[in-house]
Amino acid sequence: MTVDSSKAHGGVKPWPASFRAEQMPVADGTQYVRIGGSGPAVVLLHGFGDTGDMWVPLAEVMVRDHTVVVPDLRGMGLSSHPEGGYRKVEQARDLAGILDRLGVKDVVLVTHDIGNMVGYAFAAQYPARTTKWVVMDAPLPGIGHWDDQLKNPKTWHFNFRGPDVERLVAGRERILLDRFYNELSANPAGIDEQTRNHYAELYARPLAIHNAFGGQFAAFAEDALDNQKLLEQGKLTMPVLAIGGDHSYGAKLASEVGFAAVDVRAAVIKDSGHWIMEEQPAQAIALITAFVGK
């Protein structure tokens, strides 16, 4: 099934015409996946507050000499909304199935936020299929100083869920997302109105908030246990680039990822908080393309 992926609001660039999009079957549902280009494969995974649309500026550069695969995560964006399957090891297995259907054997992973968690679960379960990993501005459940993350006042939303919470948020998705864009950025004005409205519209879709809170966030405790078991098998050995915003994780992200990988290099984005691809896309693209290579 081919679907239209071209629509975008002013602050979010439209996908290049060379990309196609499909609803691809996964466990108990479908994932909306954009595919473009040819050559070595790169998978781009988003997090909460975004969808795969966050990657357009990077994708339009990388598609020149790579096959670029950009899913909307389970229950997010234009993907379907199953009730279960939100453990990141499960989502990684879904990703492996998507790549199998596309005939893609191995990939470079480029991930942000919750996408990091799915990325680690994929790299740890399929190390032979993961050639490099770019991990951006979020730690991994159950690894390193994750418990400190749970105590951080900025992450109160990890346990913000339930039917009454969803009633509070319904119709106020833009207000909720503004909290993340304003408090977790270096300069809130850098995330424009069109971008905020674009994602607010997507997160206002039926079950989108329910799946984010009651699915992706609610699975973190199980993810922590899963990750500890994966780490018992040994650290990742592929090259890893850990990118943090200087107003967010900064170089500390590399130390956190270093608990799970042996070959980690650090990079810091200047004048950026958590929303690196919205705040400083040019810096991020330069770092990522240099690391990934051709």
The lowest-confidence range among 8-17, 234-243, 283-292 is: 8-17
26 - beta bridge partners?
A: 29
Any idea which residue has 């507050």 for tokens?
A: 49
User: pLDDT tens across 248-263, in order?
Assistant: 999 999 999 999 999 9
Handedness of CA 160, 93, 76, 136 (dihedral sign): positive
Burial class of 126 by CB neighbour count within 10 A (0 to 12, 13 to 18, 19+): middle
* Structure confidence at residue 146 as a pLDDT band (50, 70, 90): confident
Residue with tokens 């109105």: 193
Is the pLDDT at 128 greater than 80? The verdict is yes
- pLDDT tens digit sequence for 265-283: 999 999 999 999 999 999 9
Mean pLDDT in residue range 181-186: 98
Q: From start to end of the chain, where are the E strands?
A: 20-26, 29-37, 41-45, 67-71, 107-112, 130-136, 240-245, 264-269
pLDDT of 151 over the 90 cut: no
Q: How far apart are CA 176 and CA 122, in angstroms?
A: 30
pLDDT band at residue 147, thresholds of 50, 70 and 90? confident
Cα→Cα distances 180→129, 134, 140, 169, 264, Å: 33, 22, 19, 14, 28
Residue 148: is its pLDDT beyond 90? no
Percent of the chain with pLDDT over 70: 97
pLDDT at 169 over 80: yes
Using DSSP bridges, classify how beta strands 107-112 and 41-45 pair: parallel, antiparallel or unpaired.
parallel
Grade residue 10 by pLDDT with cuts at 50, 70 and 90: very low
Produce one character per residue of 27-47: b if its CB has 16 or more CB atoms within 10 Å, e if not: eebbbbbbbbbeebbbbbbbb
Given this model, what pLDDT does residue 6 score?
37
In this predicted structure, what is the pLDDT of residue 11? Answer: 84
pLDDT band at 149 (very low <50, low <70, confident <90, very high): confident
Could you read off the pLDDT of 53-87 as tens digits, one per residue? 999 999 999 999 999 999 999 999 999 999 999 99
Position 155 scores a pLDDT of 79
Task: Tell me: pLDDT of 7 over 50.
Answer: no
Amino acid identity of residue 152, one-letter, is N
What percent of the chain has pLDDT above 90? 90
**For residues 112-136, average pLDDT:** 98
pLDDT at site 1: 29
The identity of residue 46, as a single letter, is H
- Longest Cα separation, the chain: 49
Q: How far is CA 47 from the centre of its chain?
A: 4
Q: Is the dihedral of CA 10, 15, 16, 17 positive or negative?
A: negative
For the record, the structure tokens of 149 come out as 């993350």
Task: Answer whether 268's CB lies under 8 Å from 246's CB.
Answer: yes
Residue 2's pLDDT is what?
Answer: 34
Question: How far is 28 from 251, CA to CA, in rounded Å?
Answer: 38
Report phi then psi at 254, rounded to 5: -60, -35
Is the pLDDT score of 229 beyond 60? Answer: yes
Helix axes 114-125, 220-232, angle to 10 degrees: 30
Mean pLDDT of 223-231: 98
Q: What is the pLDDT of residues 16-27, one digit of tens each?
A: 999 999 999 999
Q: Average pLDDT in the 125-134 region? A: 98
Per-residue confidence (pLDDT) for residue 3, from 0 to 100: 33
Residue 117 above 90 pLDDT? yes
Residue 101's closest CA among 230, 215, 1, 238? 1
